[in-house]
Amino acid sequence: MVGMEHAWVLPALPFGAFVVLLLVGRYLPRRGDFLAVGAMVAAAVLFSLMLADLVQALGEEGFQGVASGIDWLKFDTFQVRLGFFFDNLAAVMLAVVTYVGSLIFIYSTGYMQGDPRYGWFFAAMSLFAASMMTLVLADNLLLLYGAWEAVGFCSYLLIGFWHERRSAAEAAKKAFITTRIGDVGFLIGIVLLWREAGTFDLREIFRLASAGGYSSEYLTLAVLMLFAGAVGKSAQFPLHVWLPDAMEGPTPVSALIHAATMVVAGVYLVARTMPLFEAADPVALQVVTAIGLATVMLSATVALVVRDVKRVIAYSTINSLGLMMVALGSRSVTAAMFYLFVHGFFKALLFLSAGNVLHATDRGTVDELGGLRAKMPLTALAFGVGTLAMAGLFPLSGFWAKDEILVAAREGQGVAVSVVLWVSVALTALYMARLYILTFLGKPRDPHAYEHAHEAPPAMLAPVLLLALGAVVTGFWAFDQVGEALALPGGVGKFVYLHEPHPFEISVGEAAGSSALVVACLLVAGLVWSGEARPAQLMAQRLHPLYQLLWNKYYIDDLYQWVVNRIVLATGAMVAWFDRVVVNDTGVDGSAGLAALWGWIMRQVQTGKMPNYALAIAGGAVVIGAVVLVTRM
């Protein structure tokens, strides 16, 4: 019987698929894609069994989770342990990774068909899945960091999958370097925590923190350093710049890595280490909230003018990630994880259905699309569901999750935060509706693309429809009755929480208010963008400076490029000069030259003439004789 103590099996399955695919994949039928898909599906099934196990164990008093794993290296204060911890929080993440992941893998068999590196795609995706699961299950910061880097590496591989395209290669580099900047902070934070605790184990560190083992400033610094890693990985301002570029990768990659799982790793990290954030100075969570808000507003405004379909969805992901961070800043792990859970479904849905469009029309920007509803009705329906879920329309999943966050913000933070979130709600409805209208409604802008458009094949359509179903129903998990019907202790509030489980209560204010706002904005979007979208064009012309600002993404990318050019590369040039001139020419070549020069000088002694040598001998003998004489006297 497979229980929670065998949690290591979950990452082991896709890892095994990776190894096999890497070594012998090209000799297998269909390049072995069935291995990758099979591994994911098996992981999903096993996870379900472990979940049942978990649910049973929750009845026991004081149950926290099940630990497993082996010690790998052990020195005095330095232990590396491949340790896993299966608890409620991990279960929520694993549900997203395995269920949504399996659907995306199946989708990929259709989407990536015919690609020359088909096998490598599945190998890299499997490695990613294994790393992601390890990250979620890790019970110590070192293993978590290792898995963190591994998922970043897989992201690099997969963004740059079509590396013959310059833009893809650049985007992969950008993603890796940007997240790396955050990871430096992350590592510093880990080391700071380890220094005082003597161990990397999370629960030990939590224990130490709550017992006051860290000084307040020290802990706050460490926690903010950890958050730096989350800022990078979860595309928060100011390290958000890599995510829109990451859309250069294949759509399944965008769906799995840059929507459902990897980018939410930062949210997961903060959620996991919330006990530390609470024990630290309140300014830490204020920073989290502030950055989350900045991210929310930045992404929501830019998304209004972006013309690439996938990039709009990317900005919506950044928006969602910001919301989750604000939820965490408001100390509501429940709200953040609930949103994370449902977001996995509807964001993957949006990406995959966008993938259908891309695959069918071979076009990516709204300038070339339009009116596709007629040609791809099911995809249009699914995309529509995703749009509404993202916007947060009742009774879709996004509505329930978004409202939880609004409530948490109202209760835990000030008015200003709530105002910003409500503005975001409005903007989200606007830009999502805009995307849908410009892509599926109205008249086709590129007749050639429209001609070729067709509905997606079953391998691609089925996962999309299943995800659409998920986007509809997963929200109901908020209700305690639904939870109990699933043999869980209750709704999401009773499954994932920080201190105590809390039962679900509908907050009428949020529910009614947000619904009204969303509906209103959807209608406004319809007015502005449908048909010829003349109101939109007028606004763009009248408010041209504002439009320019948004079009250039607040010039942040330009700023970073300037820094790289002027500062980083200039410093590099200086260092290179130093290495070339001082170290190499002077130091290495110079000392060699010096030795050669000395050698040349010394060999002038070898004249080859006997009289010279005889003179030297005689002279030497005289000197020695004189010395002896003097000393003997």
The amino acid that residue 411 corresponds to is E
Check binding of 618 to other proteins (CB under 8 A): yes
Check binding of 166 to other proteins (CB under 8 A): no
In the complex with other proteins, which residue's Cβ is closer, 70 or 601? Answer: 601
Check binding of 211 to other proteins (CB under 8 A): no
Check binding of 114 to other proteins (CB under 8 A): no
Check binding of 541 to other proteins (CB under 8 A): no
Question: In terms of C-beta density within 10 A (0-12 exposed, 13-18 middle, 19 or more buried), how is residue 291 classed?
Answer: buried
Closest among 117, 550, 131 to 311, alpha carbons compared: 550
Per DSSP, 553 falls in state G
Check binding of 604 to other proteins (CB under 8 A): yes
303: Cβ–Cβ under 8 A, 6 or more apart, which residues?
312, 315, 316, 319, 427, 431
Q: Say if CB 171 and CB 159 are below 8 A apart.
A: yes
Q: What is the DSSP string of 221-238?
A: HHHHHHHHHHHHHTT-TT
Check binding of 626 to other proteins (CB under 8 A): yes
Check binding of 612 to other proteins (CB under 8 A): yes
Check binding of 62 to other proteins (CB under 8 A): no
Q: Which stretch binds other proteins (CB under 8 A): 15-23, 114-122, 416-424, 625-633?
A: 625-633
Q: Say if CB 3 and CB 39 are below 8 A apart.
A: no
Shortest distance, position 598 Cβ to other proteins, whole Å: 14
Check binding of 631 to other proteins (CB under 8 A): no
Q: Say if CB 208 and CB 188 are below 8 A apart.
A: no
CA distance 45 to 63: 23
Q: What is the DSSP string of 54-119?
A: HHHHTTSTT---EEEEEEEEE-SS-EEEEEEEE-HHHHHHHHIIIIIHHHHHHHHHHHTTT-TTHH
CA distance 66 to 560: 44
Check binding of 74 to other proteins (CB under 8 A): no
CA distance 454 to 473: 28
Q: Which stretch binds other proteins (CB under 8 A): 265-273, 441-449, 537-545, 622-630?
A: 622-630
CA distances 133 to 47, 377, 431, 439, Å, are: 11, 35, 33, 35
Check binding of 70 to other proteins (CB under 8 A): no
CA distances 125 to 30, 146, 171, 400, 628, Å, are: 16, 17, 18, 31, 86
Q: Which stretch binds other proteins (CB under 8 A): 14-22, 75-83, 219-227, 603-611?
A: 603-611
The amino acid that residue 54 corresponds to is L
Closest among 191, 102, 179 to 148, alpha carbons compared: 179
Q: Say if CB 21 and CB 126 are below 8 A apart.
A: yes
Q: Say if CB 402 and CB 517 are below 8 A apart.
A: no
Check binding of 567 to other proteins (CB under 8 A): no
What does the block give as tokens for 27?
């000799």
Q: Which stretch binds other proteins (CB under 8 A): 234-242, 261-269, 551-559, 620-628?
A: 620-628
Q: Which stretch binds other proteins (CB under 8 A): 32-40, 365-373, 462-470, 599-607?
A: 599-607
Shortest distance, position 624 Cβ to other proteins, whole Å: 10
Check binding of 531 to other proteins (CB under 8 A): no
Check binding of 608 to other proteins (CB under 8 A): yes
Check binding of 614 to other proteins (CB under 8 A): yes
In the complex with other proteins, which residue's Cβ is closer, 512 or 618? Answer: 618
Shortest distance, position 589 Cβ to other proteins, whole Å: 23
CA distance 10 to 37: 14
CA distances 88 to 65, 465, 488, 617, Å, are: 7, 28, 11, 93
Check binding of 611 to other proteins (CB under 8 A): yes
From 414, 503, 593, 619, residue interacting with other proteins (rule: CB under 8 A): 619
Shortest distance, position 626 Cβ to other proteins, whole Å: 6
Check binding of 629 to other proteins (CB under 8 A): yes
Closest among 394, 291, 294, 289 to 332, alpha carbons compared: 289
Q: Which stretch binds other proteins (CB under 8 A): 44-52, 408-416, 505-513, 621-629?
A: 621-629
In the complex with other proteins, which residue's Cβ is closer, 1 or 610? Answer: 610
In the complex with other proteins, which residue's Cβ is closer, 587 or 625? Answer: 625
In the complex with other proteins, which residue's Cβ is closer, 571 or 612? Answer: 612
Check binding of 601 to other proteins (CB under 8 A): no
Q: Which stretch binds other proteins (CB under 8 A): 28-36, 98-106, 236-244, 615-623?
A: 615-623
Q: Which stretch binds other proteins (CB under 8 A): 193-201, 238-246, 577-585, 609-617?
A: 609-617
From 1, 114, 609, 631, residue interacting with other proteins (rule: CB under 8 A): 609
Check binding of 595 to other proteins (CB under 8 A): no
Residues that bind other proteins (CB under 8 A): 603-604, 606-612, 614-615, 618-619, 621-622, 625-626, 629, 633
